C-alpha cells in the first residue's frame, strides 16, 4: 500500500508514538487518551490526531486509543510488522553501540552481518554473536544473508566506498553515521544520523538567544 | 546578535556547508562556486544562496565564495567561533564513540568531564584523558568546569534523571542520545539524536515504495 505525500515529520512522530505505546503496552495499560499520549511524546493532542488521520480512523471519541491496537496499526504503517535484516560496517565503539542498541531488536531490526577493514577485528564476534567479516566480502555476504538495510559507522573518508559496495548488493536503504553526504542512486534511500549538525544547532541557539 | 525566524533546516544546512568548506580549506582551495559547494553538500545552488541570504551578502557574482571567508562567517553565525565545554553522561560504547568523534574537537566542542554510575568505571580515564566521575557529582563538577552543553548517552530509563541534574547546574543545551522525550525547562534546549526514528523512516519508505 502506498501512502503518498505524508510529511516526513509525521513519519518521525509515528515512530515516537509507537515507542510510547510499546512502553504503555508493557505496563499493561489497555487504553490511552490522546492527551496522555501527547504528554509522553512531547507533542500536542491535535498533532497526534492529525498525524493519524493520514492513515485512517483511529481511537474512540471520549475513550481514547486502545494501546495494543494502535501500536499494531502504527507498526504496520511504518513497516515494522516484519523483521528487517541489517548489515553494519565499521565495528568501532560507535558500530558496537549501534548493534547493541536495545530498541533496535525490539523493533524488528536484526543485524545479520558485520564488516570492518581492521585485520585484528576480522573473524571476531560482536556481543550479539555475529561474526565480523572483511569489508571486501560485503557484497557476497550481504547477498547471501539477504540484507535490506546497510548501516555505515566508518570514518568519513571510507563511507562513500562502503555506500558504493552496498549499491552493488543492492541494499535499498542506508543509515549513515559518517559525517559526509553520500552519493547514491535513486532507488536507495539514505537517512543520516549526524551528531555534529545537532550540536551545531545547539551552539547556534545558545549563541543566538 | 539575534537572527529570528531562521528555518531549522537552514541552520542544519549551514552546519553541512561549514563542514564542506572546512575540507575545501584543508585542501588549499581558496574559491568555490555555489554549484560546486552545492554538489558536495547534496543540495541545489539556489538553496545555498537562499540560506546565506538570511544572514547578509556573501560571495562574488561570477567568482563564487572565498572558502576561508565564508567558513569564518558561517562559524560565527553558528556560534562556532568559540570553544564549547561539554559533559558526557554514560561512558559505554556510545559515550566513548561520541567523545572520540573527530569532528567534534575540530569544531570547538570540548568534553571537559564525564560521568557514569558504574563503580568499575568511576576514576578511569577516557581515551581523551578526562576522568570519569560518579554521576552523583554531576552538578558540582559541571559548575566547576563551566559546562555549557550536556550530552546524555545513558540507557533510556536514566535519561530524565540526568536531564534534571543538568537543569540544576544549569546547562543551557542538551544533546540526547537516549530514545526518550526529555522534560526540560524553557531555558534549556534539547537536540535529540534518535537512531530508531531514522531507521523507522527507512523502514517506512522501503515498505511504502
- The domains found in chain B, sorted by start residue, are 8-77 (1.10.10.10), 84-197 (3.40.50.720)
**Residue B123, H or E segment:** none
The string of pLDDT tens digits covering residues B43-55 is 999 999 999 999 9
Mean pLDDT of B135-143: 98
Contacts 24+ apart (CB under 8 A), B97-100: B97/A92, B97/A93, B97/A94, B97/A97, B98/A195, B98/B151, B98/B153, B98/B177, B99/B126, B99/B127, B99/B128, B99/B130, B100/A93, B100/B126, B100/B127, B100/B128
Interchain proximity B195–A175, CB inside 8 Å = yes
pLDDT of residue A1: 46
Beta bridge pairs of residue A60 = A64
The band of B180, judged by pLDDT with boundaries at 50, 70 and 90, is confident
Residue B9, classified by CB atoms within 10 Å of its CB into exposed (0-12), middle (13-18) or buried (19+), is: exposed
- The helix-helix angle for A67-78 and A8-26 (nearest 10°) equals 140
Name the nearest CA neighbour of B95 among B141, B146, B151.
Answer: B151
| Rounded CA Rg of chain B | 19
- Binning chain A into helix, strand and coil, the percentages to the nearest 5 are 45, 20, 35
Nearest residue in B to A209, CA atom: B2
pLDDT of residue A8: 86
Q: What is the 3-state secondary structure (H, E, C) of B181-208?
A: CCCCCCCCEEEECCHHHHHHHHHHHHHH
pLDDT of residue A112: 95
Mean pLDDT of A135-148: 98
Within an 8 Å CB–CB cutoff, is residue B5 touching chain A? no
Substitution target from B10, B20, B126, B196 for chain A, most A beta carbons within 10 A: B196
| Torsion sign across C-alpha atoms A187, A191, A196, A200 | positive
Interchain proximity B104–A196, CB inside 8 Å = yes
Residues of B within 8 A of A174 (CB-CB) are 202
The DSSP output letter for A177 is -
| 8 Å CB contact between A15 and A79 | no
**Residue A209, H or E segment:** none
Interchain proximity B173–A109, CB inside 8 Å = no
Q: Is the pLDDT of residue A67 over 50?
A: yes
Mean pLDDT of B102-109: 81
pLDDT of residue B1: 46
The band of A103, judged by pLDDT with boundaries at 50, 70 and 90, is confident
Q: Is the pLDDT of residue B4 over 70?
A: no
Q: Is the pLDDT of residue B148 over 90?
A: yes
The string of pLDDT tens digits covering residues A121-132 is 999 999 889 999
Provide the ipTM.
0.89
Interchain proximity A103–B202, CB inside 8 Å = no
Taking only residues 22 to 61 of chain B, the set having a beta carbon closer than 8 angstroms to any beta carbon of chain A reads: 40-42
CA B205 to chain A, closest CA, distance in angstroms equals: 8
CA A1 to chain B, closest CA, distance in angstroms equals: 6
Write down the mean pLDDT value for chain A: 92
Mean pLDDT of A115-140: 95
Strand B84-89 with A189-192, pairing: unpaired
Taking only residues 185 to 204 of chain B, the set having a beta carbon closer than 8 angstroms to any beta carbon of chain A reads: 189, 191-204
CA pair distance B55, B73, nearest whole angstrom: 9
Q: Is the pLDDT of residue B2 over 60?
A: no
Write down the mean pLDDT value for chain B: 92
pTM for this entry = 0.87
Within an 8 Å CB–CB cutoff, is residue B99 touching chain A? no
Q: Is the pLDDT of residue B173 over 90?
A: yes
The band of B209, judged by pLDDT with boundaries at 50, 70 and 90, is low
Mean pLDDT of B188-201: 91
Outline where chain B has alpha helix (H).
8-26, 34-41, 45-53, 67-78, 93-100, 102-106, 138-145, 156-168, 195-208
Q: Is the pLDDT of residue A113 over 90?
A: yes
More confidently predicted of B167 and A208: B167
The string of pLDDT tens digits covering residues A21-56 is 999 999 999 999 999 999 999 899 999 999 999 999
CA B84 to chain A, closest CA, distance in angstroms equals: 8
Interchain proximity B149–A175, CB inside 8 Å = no
Interchain proximity A84–B42, CB inside 8 Å = no
Place of cell 562556486: B33
Residues of B within 8 A of A37 (CB-CB) are none
Q: Is the pLDDT of residue A2 over 70?
A: no
The band of A209, judged by pLDDT with boundaries at 50, 70 and 90, is low
| 8 Å CB contact between A99 and A88 | yes
Q: Which DSSP string corresponds to A33-84? A: -HHHHHHHHTS-HHHHHHHHHTT---SBTTTBEEHHHHHHHHHHHHT-SSPE
| 8 Å CB contact between A78 and A14 | yes
CA pair distance B162, B115, nearest whole angstrom: 10
Within an 8 Å CB–CB cutoff, is residue A144 touching chain B? no
Amino acid at each position: 500500500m502506498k501512502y503518498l505525500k505524508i510529511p516526513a515529520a509525521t513519519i518521525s512522530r509515528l515512530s515516537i508514538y509507537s515507542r510510547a505505546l510499546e512502553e504503555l503496552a508493557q505496563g499493561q495499560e489497555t487504553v490511552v487518551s490522546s492527551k496522555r499520549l501527547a504528554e509522553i511524546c512531547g507533542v500536542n493532542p491535535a498533532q497526534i490526531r492529525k498525524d493519524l488521520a493520514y492513515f485512517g480512523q483511529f481511537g474512540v471519541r471520549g475513550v481514547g486509543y486502545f494501546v495494543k491496537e494502535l501500536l499494531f496499526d502504527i507498526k504496520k504503517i511504518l513497516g515494522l510488522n516484519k523483521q528487517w535484516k541489517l548489515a553494519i560496517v565499521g565495528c568501532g565503539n560507535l558500530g558496537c553501540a549501534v548493534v547493541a542498541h536495545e530498541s533496535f531488536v525490539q523493533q524488528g531490526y536484526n543485524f545479520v552481518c558485520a564488516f570492518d577493514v581492521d585485520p585484528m577485528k576480522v573473524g571476531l564476534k560482536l556481543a550479539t554473536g555475529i561474526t565480523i567479516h572483511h569489508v571486501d566480502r560485503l557484497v557476497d555476504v550481504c547477498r547471501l544473508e539477504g540484507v535490506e538495510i546497510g548501516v555505515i559507522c566508518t570514518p568519513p573518508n571510507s563511507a562513500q566506498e562502503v555506500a558504493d559496495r552496498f549499491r552493488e548488493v543492492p541494499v535499498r536503504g542506508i543509515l549513515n553515521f559518517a559525517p559526509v553526504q553520500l552519493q547514491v542512486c535513486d532507488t536507495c534511500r539514505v537517512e543520516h544520523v549526524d551528531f555534529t549538525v545537532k550540536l551545531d544547532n545547539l551552539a547556534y541557539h545558545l549563541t543566538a538567544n
